[in-house]
Amino acid sequence: MVTLEEAVTARLKTHGVVFEVLVDPEGALSFRQGDEVDVEKILAADDVFENASRGDRSSEEDLTKVFETTDVVTIAAKIIKKGEIQLTAEQRKRIIENKRRQVVSFIAMNAINPQTGTPHPPIRIERAMEEARVNIDPTKSVEEMVNVTMKAIRPIIPIRFEEVDVAVKIPPAYAPKAYGEIATFAKLQKEQWQNDGSWVGVIRLPAGLQDEFYSLVNRLSKGDAETKLLKR
């Protein structure tokens, strides 16, 4: 359970009555965005209030009438989903900055410049977002903000989401260990162990992760592996 000092108010006005619960701000936003969150653990008090700042609790009559239950966790979940989460300026700024980093990271890992077939560096994506004046909404999920951002920056930089297939051959001395890490890193489409003990596979991964994948293969094989970008 979150402390009262860390909590913010989630408020829902319905049926002419106000209902409030005290919640962890980031946990409440995550739950609102569809993440798996234990609502009981993000509550700062096991009560539903008519006015949380004064400590005025909602009546059981009002709770039953509106929510058809008096269970605090069930009611809190509905308030968080449908109501307003009141963030302080500092909390809002921190959450926005964190979400902006997640959006940039996701796009950098999954998108390419279709003109060159190469990933966009994060700094280029950030500058395009600034030029497009993308505003990060702390109440929206990263997925929603990625869609908003991609639509906004496409007129500024050539960009699209794409996956690529890469063929890789690992020499016998490194194959047993390298196979496991490579299969964990990306989606394995095909694989075959050769008679000499070497391993050949076809990996599908987000286009933006190509450089990271090649670095991984070089590290695992001490530079002795062979790779080839395949046309799809």
pLDDT tens figures, 3-58: 787 889 999 999 999 999 999 998 999 898 888 999 999 999 999 999 999 999 99
Residues 225 and 171 in one domain: yes
Which of 98, 133, 160 is where one domain is finished?
160
pLDDT tens figures, 132-145: 999 999 888 899 99
pLDDT tens figures, 84-126: 998 888 888 988 999 999 999 999 989 989 888 888 999 999 9
Q: What is the mean pLDDT of the chain?
A: 92
Residues 72 and 96 in one domain: no
Domain count for the chain? 3
Residues 120 and 139 in one domain: yes
Task: Answer yes or no: is 1 within a domain.
Answer: no
Residues 149 and 168 in one domain: no
Task: Answer yes or no: is 2 within a domain.
Answer: no
Q: Which residues pair with 170 in a beta bridge?
A: 199
CA dihedral defined by 217, 222, 226, 231, rounded to 10 degrees? Answer: 20
Q: In a 3-state reduction of DSSP, which class is residue 56? A: strand
Which of 160, 183, 208 is where one domain is finished?
160
Structure tokens at 157: 């930089």
| φ, ψ (nearest 5 deg) of residue 85 | -100, 115
Task: Answer yes or no: is 26 within a domain.
Answer: yes
Domain containing 151 — which CATH number?
1.10.10.900
The answer to whether residue 214 scores a pLDDT higher than 70 is yes
Which of 57, 85, 113 is where one domain is finished?
85
Look up the pTM and report it. 0.67
Residues 94 and 148 in one domain: yes
Residues 128 and 179 in one domain: no
How many CB atoms are closer than 10 A to CB 41? 11
- Structural domain of residue 213, as residue ranges? 162-230
How many CB atoms are closer than 10 A to CB 40? 12
Domain containing 172 — which CATH number?
3.30.70.240
Q: In a 3-state reduction of DSSP, which class is residue 10? A: strand
Task: Answer yes or no: is 108 within a domain.
Answer: yes
Residues 171 and 226 in one domain: yes
Residues 208 and 171 in one domain: yes
